Structures are given as structure tokens and as C-alpha cells.
Amino acid sequence: MSYPLAGIKVLDMSRVLAGPFAGRMLCDLGADVVKLEPPEGDVTRFFGRKVGNISGYYHQQNAGKRNISVNLNDPAGVEIVKSLVSEADVLIENFRPDVMGRLGLSYETLAEINPRLIMLSISGFGANNPDSRRAAYAPIVHAETGLVARQAEITGAHPAELPLSVADTNAAMHGLIGMLAALYAREQTGLGDYLEIAMVDATLVTNDGLHAALENVKVVDSNEVHETRAGYLMLAGDFKFIWKQLHDLCGVQDGLQGLESVSIEDKIKARRAAAKLFFMETCRTREEVIAALDKMNIAWGDVRSTADVGDLACVQARDSIAQIDDRSGGTRSIPQSPYRFRRNQSNVRQGAPHLGEHNDEILEQWLGWTSTDIEKVASALVTGSNK
């Protein structure tokens, strides 16, 4: 088996999550991904537990990459980037829209150096509009696109941030799709392309319920958590369907038989009480609860802690959590690549790099530079730092 992106060179200039996640997936698929960081390092080098002087957050998003640390405020640093671009297939960046141009690294400039370059730019609100210069992290986009308000509406709780950065990862995945499409198109035309992804756009298009808001239709959330003898379970389906199955297949009664006048509210209240009684009293064990749900053909899921996800049978069977060298004499857990091929390979190949760890190696291998060549740009390189 071979890696489908073997031989593809990626210069990853991105920070935090949206860009780095895209680069990590490319790396798992076999690309040679070089992460270029400033002397102070990606801020996520300080997020989470450090093992082997690598933080947990940085470890997850940058595993498998090599690293070069370049000071872009030094003219020699900009020239290093241009030299690397001459050999790169893909460049990823997620600065604010005008930053690359101010650095002298706009797509127009880089495409003159390498017409085959595919450049992926990810920003919060996109370029050339009134919101372009706004700082944008995932929570901001979650709030602006209605996700936070929708969650509060469903739960009845005070508006709060989501438990994962979907705006970042959705932007990364849509960036990957577009970038891979551009790589395919390049095979036909010989030319690269510039791909701009806004986190707002990616969040809107992957919100499967957006149609209702656009058409002013009220949507009632149909998936609820129920207390049962099996613990808290998420049941998929509108309660009206669940009640019909409980009544028709399990013989559950709502206690309203013979009453002539019952309001809709009282009927729902009685049926919810009857459902809870069935799951808590009639079913005395977890096995009985699951058997009843399976009989009713209702999808269910344990409401488990993220820390317990490794207990999930499919996660264990699929080795979804990999163990890799922690650079400190042991191993470290990391989510495995999600891509499972029949004829190709994809997997996390090694841990995340230290800052500037591969400076000389990258310049020698990508550019063929000698030690004398590297010495000429030494002022722009940072070495020996494991932030």
C-alpha cells in the first residue's frame, strides 16, 4: 500500500487550528508537510500537557510535520519562503486577508515564482468586505452564524460556546476538498490556483438546518437525552415517534384512557412520564433497556465523557486512537487518520516537531542548499528552541 499524496510538498504557514488541521490531514495522506513558524512559535505550543516538550494541542494538529522557524520580519526570511515556494505544490496560510501581501508574499507574487503553486488561504470572514479585518476565532464565528443562539434555544440555558471548534475544522476540511480539486485540475492544465476559504462560509454550508432559518421555518429539535436504567442515553427521533413505538410495540400506556377532554400539553406530559417510568422501572437492567430500543428500532447512544471515548467498541476495533513516540521514551495517544482505503494508506506517522528542528534538513532537501548557503540566511533562522 502507498500513500496517495506521496511526493506532494506542502508549506504550512498557518497557526492554531484551521490551517494546521488541514496540514495534518495532508501529512497523514503522505504529503511532505513543512510547518513554517515564527521565532515565538505557534501559540498552541503552550496549550495542554507537555510531553517531550510538545504540548498536547500542538501535538494533535501537527503530528508528522517537519519544522522550520523563520523570522519574516527579516528580509532574508521572506526570501527563504520564496525559495521554498519555488519547490512547493501547496502553501497553506490563515493570516488575516492582507497580511501575506504586506509581507511581499501575495499569491500573485508567489505564482510568478511557481505557476504550479496551489495556495490555500483560510480567514474568518473572507477578503475584500467590511468584516475582513476582524479578528476571527471559532467561537466568534459560532456566535455570528447562529450556532450559539441555536444551542441556547434548544437547551434553555444561557448562550455559551460550543465544546469544539467546528468553524475551524469545517473550514479546514472544505479547504482540503478545494485544494485536492485544484491538484487534480493542475494535472489537466499544468497551472496552480488560489483558493480562499472563509470560516463563515464553511460554517453556513455545513449547517444542515440553515434552510429552516433562511425560509423562516421553526425547527423543533427531535433528538433528546433520556434518563434510563442504562444511564443517560441520546435517543434519535421525535418524541411522537418514540411514544408510538413504546405504545405499539412495548404496550406502554399514558393513563389517559377514558378521559374525554385532555389538552395537548397534558397529553405530552403524561406520555413523557410514562416513557420515563418504562425506561427506569419496567426495564430493570441496561440489557433490558437496549433490547427494548432495538425492538423499537430507535437509534441510541451513551452520553459518555470525551475521556471515555476509548471505551467505545468501534474505536477499539478500528484503532481510532493511535499510540506514537512521545519523544520522551514512551508513547502518546493521538486521533488516528480517519481515511481507510483498500489500496492506499493513511496514518499518523510520527509526533509533532520542535521549533526549528529541521531548518537545515529542509533547506538542504527541498532546495539543495549547502551549509554555506544556509549560513547566508542564518539571521532569519531560529534553532535550538523547543518552545
Give the cell for residue 59. 501535538
Distances (CA, A) of 243 to 238, 255, 385: 9, 13, 61
Annotation says 32 is catalytic: no
Write b or e for each residue in 40-69: b if 16 or more Cβ atoms lie within 10 A of its Cβ, otherwise e: ebbebbebeeebbebbbbbbbbbbbbbbbb
Which residues contact residue 103 at a Cβ distance below 8 angstroms, ignoring those fewer than 6 apart?
A: 72, 78
38 backbone φψ class: left, alpha, beta (φ>0; ψ -120 to 50)? beta
CB 162 within 8 A of CB 148: yes
List Cα–Cα distances, 230 to 59, 153, 227, 241, 293, in angstroms.
36, 27, 8, 21, 11
The Cβ of residue 383 has, within 10 Å, a number of other Cβ atoms equal to 13
d(CA 172, CA 21): 6
- The amino acid present at 103, given as its one-letter code, is L
Q: Which of 365, 376, 375, 358 is nearest to 37 (CA)?
A: 358
Question: How far, in Å, CA of 349 to CA of 58, rounded?
Answer: 15
Q: Could you give the CA distance from residue 362 to residue 345 in angstroms, rounded to a whole number?
A: 24
Please enumerate in sequence order all residues whose Cβ is within 8 A of that of 303, keeping only pairs 6 or more positions apart, or say none.
Answer: 225, 231, 232, 233, 234
Yes or no: say if 183 and 118 are a contact pair by the CB < 8 Å rule.
Answer: yes
What number of other Cβ atoms are within 10 A of residue 213's Cβ? 15
Catalytic residue of the set 168, 201, 221, 238: 168
DSSP code for 260: S
The answer to whether 236 and 300 are in contact (CB under 8 A) is yes
Residues tagged active-site = 168
